[in-house]
C-alpha cells in the first residue's frame, strides 16, 4: 500500500495505532499542535478545516484514517459543527480530488447512543440479548453523536458519488486500564489497544465498498455485534473484557 495519512495523530486513538503499527505503513501525519518526540513519518501541523493544510497532508496518499475531531461526549454544538462536521467534509473533498482510494472514518458508539439510553441498564447484563449490528438507523445520544452520524453520511455520499471505499468504525471504549470487573457499560463496550490497532490495520487492507462496523473487543457481554467486522474486514480480536488481567498477552 502507498502512503497512509493519519489525521488526529496526536490523540488517544492515533497514538494507539502508531504505537503498534509504526513500521507497518508509510505514514503521513496530521497534528493539530506540534508533536513531541519523533513521529514515524512526515507530518503537517494545522487545522483539519483548512483545505490547504489537508491538501498538503494528503498529497500522494493512497488511504486515510480520519480521527481528527472534538472527542468530548458533552461537546457543544459550535465545536462539533466546526471540528467534526466542517472538519470531515473538506477531508473527503480534498482526498477524492487527490486520488485517495479509501477512508477509514472514526465514528463512535455515540452515533447510536439513544438505543443504549432506552435499554440501560438491562443491556449491560449477560441475560439481555439486545444486539446492534450496524444496520439500524443512527440514533445519536448527544451532539457529539450527531456529528459522528453526519460523518458517516458524508462518507456515504462520497462513496456513491465518487466510488471511494469507506469504512466507518463505531469505536467503543478504548482504554488500557479497565474494563471493570462488573457487567456495566465499560466492560460491554471495551476495545483493547491491540484490538484497536488490528481493526484499523484490517480496515486499511480488506476489500470492501462502504461499511459500518463496531470497534470493540471479543467481550463475553456486548451489545454491539462484531460479526460484520469479522466478515468484511477479517477482524479477529484477541482480547475479552471478562479475561483481562491488566497486561497485553503478546507472544514474543
Q: Domain map of the chain by residue range?
A: 4-242
Q: By percentage, how much of the chain surpasses pLDDT 70?
A: 94
Q: Which residues are catalytic?
A: 144
- Which pLDDT band holds residue 102 (cuts at 50, 70, 90)? very high
Please report the pLDDT score of residue 242 as a whole number.
Answer: 83
Please report the pLDDT score of residue 182 as a whole number.
Answer: 52
Return the higher-pLDDT residue of 114 and 250: 114
Tens digits of residue pLDDT in 8-37: 999 999 999 999 999 999 999 999 999 988
* Average of per-residue pLDDT values in the chain: 92
183: pLDDT strictly greater than 70: no
Q: Distance between CA atoms of 121 and 97, rounded to whole angstroms?
A: 46
Q: Distance between CA atoms of 18 and 136, rounded to whole angstroms?
A: 32
Residue listed under C-alpha cell 490497532: 197
Query: Sign of the CA dihedral 205, 208, 213, 217?
Result: negative
Give me the mean pLDDT over the 122-151 stretch.
Answer: 91
217: pLDDT strictly greater than 50: yes
CA distances from 75 to 81, 105, 142, 143, 150 (A): 10, 19, 9, 7, 15
CA distances from 92 to 14, 25, 206 (A): 19, 21, 20
CATH code, 4-242: 3.40.50.720
Q: How far apart are the first and last CA of the chain?
A: 26
CB 26 within 8 A of CB 2: yes
Please report the pLDDT score of residue 126 as a whole number.
Answer: 74
Residue length of the chain: 252
Amino acid at each position: 500500500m502507498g502512503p497512509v495519512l493519519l489525521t488526529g495523530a496526536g490523540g488517544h486513538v492515533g497514538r494507539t495505532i502508531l504505537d503498534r503499527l509504526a513500521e507497518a505503513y508509510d505514514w503521513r501525519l496530521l497534528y493539530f499542535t506540534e508533536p513531541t518526540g519523533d513521529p514515524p513519518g512526515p507530518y503537517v501541523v494545522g487545522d483539519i478545516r483548512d483545505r490547504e493544510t489537508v491538501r498538503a497532508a494528503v498529497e500522494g496518499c493512497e488511504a486515510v484514517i480520519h480521527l481528527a475531531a472534538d472527542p468530548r461526549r458533552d461537546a457543544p454544538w459550535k465545536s462539533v459543527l466546526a471540528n467534526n462536521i466542517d472538519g470531515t467534509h473538506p477531508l473527503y473533498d480534498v482526498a477524492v480530488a487527490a486520488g485517495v482510494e479509501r477512508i477509514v472514518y472514526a465514528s463512535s458508539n455515540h452515533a447510536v447512543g439513544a438505543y443504549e439510553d432506552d435499554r440501560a441498564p438491562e443491556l449491560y447484563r449477560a441475560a439481555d440479548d439486545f444486539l446492534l449490528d450496524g444496520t439500524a438507523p443512527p440514533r445519536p445520544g448527544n451532539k457529539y453523536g450527531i456529528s459522528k452520524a453526519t460523518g458517516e453520511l458524508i462518507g456515504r455520499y462520497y462513496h456513491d458519488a465518487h466510488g471511494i471505499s469507506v469504512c466507518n468504525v463505531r469505536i467503543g471504549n478504548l482504554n488500557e486500564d479497565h474494563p471493570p470487573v462488573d457487567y456495566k457499560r465499560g466492560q460491554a463496550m471495551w476495545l483493547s489497544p491491540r484490538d484497536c490497532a488490528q481493526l484499523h490495520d484490517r480496515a486499511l487492507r480488506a476489500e470492501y465498498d462502504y461499511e459500518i462496523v463496531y470497534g470493540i473487543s471479543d467481550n463475553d457481554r456486548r451489545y454491539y455485534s462484531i460479526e460484520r467486522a469479522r466478515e468484511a474486514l477479517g477482524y479477529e480480536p484477541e482480547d475479552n473484557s471478562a479475561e483481562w488481567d491488566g497486561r497485553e498477552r503478546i507472544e514474543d
